Amino acid sequence: MTIRYIKNSLILATLFLSGIFVSCNKQLDLSPIDQIDPSKAFRNVADLNGGLLGAYAGLKNNTIYNVSLITDECTRPTENNTGGGIATYRWQIHPSNTTVTSSFDENYIAIDRVNRVLSAINKVKVKADEEELRKQYHGELLALRAYCHLELLRSYAETYEPQAMGIAYMDSSYIGKPSRNSVAEVISFIERDLIAAKKLIPASFDDNSRITLTAVSAIQARAALYAKKWNDAITYATEAIDAIPLATSAQFPEIWKDNSQAEVIWKLKQVAGDDLIGNLYTNSGDVVLYAPSFELINLFDKTNDVRYKSYINDDPRAPGKSQYRVNKYKGTTQANLADIKLFRTGEMYLIRAEAMAEATGVSAGTNDLNELRAIRINGYTNQTFVDKAALILAIYDERFKELAFEGHRMFDLRRRNLPVTRNPEDAINASGAVLMNPGDKGYAFPIPDWETKANKNMKQNPAYLK
């Protein structure tokens, strides 16, 4: 762990005494301190749960926002004169850009909280009827650590090739100057933590606001996809699919109103007082900050695809105002307040389809793609594909639609070394930011400037050294 993170790590013990850890839904707000003795902060199993909830609470929406701004997922309407995110949207990306580097901070702070609890996991007093809970919390902590490292790898790895610079995998609250592990090393550590977690979390635990056994399988499937371990991706995605089926066409719109838990494997439960993810797209003054791109809109069958109205609102407004807005996080009980769905069964189908196309052939991958489309699109007719390249392209288009505004588009393009492009209609307010090639600034996010200055072992991604 870096010096910055250790010195700004939030102290969990205070929270136990104050009773703030009723749930993991509220943002933590405590004064920083340099050191904490886990034996004093964590004395019993309830304290472990408090520490775990504190780590969950560190997860935010930064990755989703960064991906929306940088890719072809969104366009900036003329009515957005607020300045928020505009430098990132225009690809004016550098190591001191606090928008694009925000997820670095977010995930490493969560990791540090995890590691502090893990250091006490085998030292607390455990009553006879609490051992299974202790094991469950241990498993959740390991899986959460793996997930956060995977999120960091997706954003900040130099490339996804095995020997490329990945990120520093932190398995302790270490005050020092770590260096970046290779992508292959990070993947191996992620796999290690997830395998261990799977042995600890009981199958009966089904709270999808936390990491369940099915959620572990889903994380494993996503990690295997990035590692190009196709057979593993098939195995783990199948575990998740078998446990939690796709939502029906009637259930699907209710997911985004938080009225249904269908196909939601793991979510971040949001309550009043949390950061409002919907505010990233339409603010409280009804200004559309970032609208769905026309490129994305035009991919949908607007009449028959249940995803279209769930994700995008056709909203005729006054001249000069955006006629479209992101509908996915508009909220129901409060404007722009919505749970963040981190893993869904729809993603698992697309992971398995891609992995099958690579490992077993076009026919198997086509079956999963057609099955997903058939449940999303009324009257859909199964398609066939002449070769793997055509199927992969179709899967990527489907990922663009299915996973829109969930923080995947940038990393999908990176996995295939594809450029980020914006069509002319989407680029009107982009100040020329229309083509980003692999290796350009922004294609891999920069390691924060404050990090490389504090830690000379933390090498910067090559694009930012030019």
| Per-residue pLDDT of the chain in tens (466 residues, 90 and over written 9) | 343 443 343 333 333 323 333 333 333 333 333 445 677 789 999 999 999 999 999 999 999 999 999 999 999 999 999 999 999 999 999 999 999 999 999 999 999 999 999 999 999 999 999 999 999 999 999 999 999 999 999 999 999 999 999 999 999 987 789 999 999 999 999 999 999 999 999 999 999 999 999 999 999 999 999 999 999 999 999 999 999 999 999 999 999 999 999 999 999 999 988 889 999 999 999 999 999 999 999 999 999 999 999 999 998 888 889 999 999 999 999 999 999 999 999 999 999 999 999 999 899 999 999 999 999 999 999 999 999 999 999 999 999 999 999 999 999 999 999 999 999 999 999 999 999 999 999 999 999 999 999 999 999 999 999 8
Rounded CA-CA distance 231/404 in Å is 26
Question: Letter for the amino acid at 270?
Answer: Q
Residue at 356 is within a domain: yes
Q: Is residue 290 part of a domain?
A: no
What pLDDT score was predicted for residue 9? Answer: 36
Give the C-alpha separation, 247 to 262, whole Å.
5
How far is Cα 249 from Cα 277, in angstroms, rounded to an integer? 25
The residue to which tokens 């002319």 are assigned: 424
Q: Half-sphere exposure of 96 toward its Cβ, with a 13 Å CA cutoff? A: 1
Calpha distance 268→339 (Å, rounded): 6
**For residue 293, what is the DSSP state?**
P
We report the CATH number of the domain holding residue 260 as 1.25.40.390
CB-CB contact of 288 with 321 (8 Å):
yes
Which secondary-structure segment (H or E) carries 125?
Answer: none
Cα–Cα distance, 169 to 149 (Å, whole number): 7
d(CA 182, CA 166): 5
Do 336 and 276 form a contact (C-beta atoms < 8 A)? yes
DSSP 383-437: ---SSHHHHHHHHHHHHHHHTTTSS-HHHHHHHTTPPEE--TTT-TTTTT--EE-
Write out the two tokens for 157. 């790895």
Within 8 A by CB and 6+ apart from 438, the residues are: 159, 414, 417, 418, 419
> Looking at residue 335, what is its pLDDT?
93
Calculated CA dihedral for residues 326, 252, 409, 190, nearest 10 degrees:
130
In a domain, 183, yes or no: yes
Cβ atoms of 297 and 311 within 8 Å: the answer is no
Q: Which residues make Cβ contacts (< 8 Å) with residue 5, sequence separation at least 6?
A: 105, 108, 109, 112
Nearest to 50 by CA among 114, 94, 135, 93: 114
Within-domain flag for 83 = yes
Structural domains in the chain (count):
1
Domain-embedded: residue 278: no
Residue 193 — φ and ψ, nearest 5°? -65, -40
226 is a domain residue:
yes
Residue 63 domain flag: yes
Q: How far apart are CA 311 and CA 401, in angstroms?
A: 9
Its domain, for residue 13, covers: 3-264+341-445
How many Å separate Cα 196 from the centre of its chain? Answer: 22
Q: Which amino acid is at 365?
A: G
Does residue 291 sit within a domain?
no
Cβ(116)–Cβ(141) under 8 Å? no
What is the token pair recorded at 204? 């009966």
Task: Return the half-sphere exposure (C-beta side, CA atoms, 13 A cut-off) of residue 345.
Answer: 25
